[in-house]
Amino acid sequence: MKIDKLTILWTSEDEEIALNMLLMYTLKSNVNHWWKECNLITWGPSNKLLCSNPEVQVMVKQIMEAGVKVYSCKRCADEYGLTEQLEKMGIEVKLMGEPFTEYLQDSSYRVISI
C-alpha cells in the first residue's frame, strides 16, 4: 500500500522552525500535490505562536486556502485561553487524542512531529 497522506503535528513555539520549515513545507506539499491529503494539527505551545504572530497567521491562512485541513487540540487551546481566537481563524478546535491516534495507526498516513 502506498503512503500518500500526511499529517503534521506542530507542537513547537519556535518562530523560525514554523516559518522556515513547517509552514513552508506544509504549503508547498499541498500546492505541488506531493501528498494526496495533508493535515496540520496545532498542539500545545504552537497555538501560542499562531495566535500571537501575524506572519504565522498569514501562512496558516494560505495553507488552509490551499486545501490543508488544520486542527487544534481543544484541551490545549482551552488551557491557553485561545479557543475562540483559533476558531475565528477558521481552525477546527476539537479533542485530538483519538483522531491523532487514528492517523498514527492508519498505514496510509505518514505522521511527522515538529
Q: Taking the model in full, what pTM does it have?
A: 0.94
pLDDT digit string (tens) for 37-84? 999 999 999 999 999 999 999 999 999 999 999 999 999 999 999 999
In a domain, 20, yes or no: no
Sequence-separated (6 or more) residues with CB below 8 Å from residue 24: 59
Residue 2 pLDDT level (bands cut at 50, 70, 90): confident
pLDDT digit string (tens) for 95-104? 999 999 999 9
Number of domains in the chain: 1
CATH number at residue 53: 3.40.1260.10
DSSP E strands, 1-114: 5-10, 37-42, 69-73, 92-94, 109-113
In a domain, 61, yes or no: yes
In a domain, 88, yes or no: yes
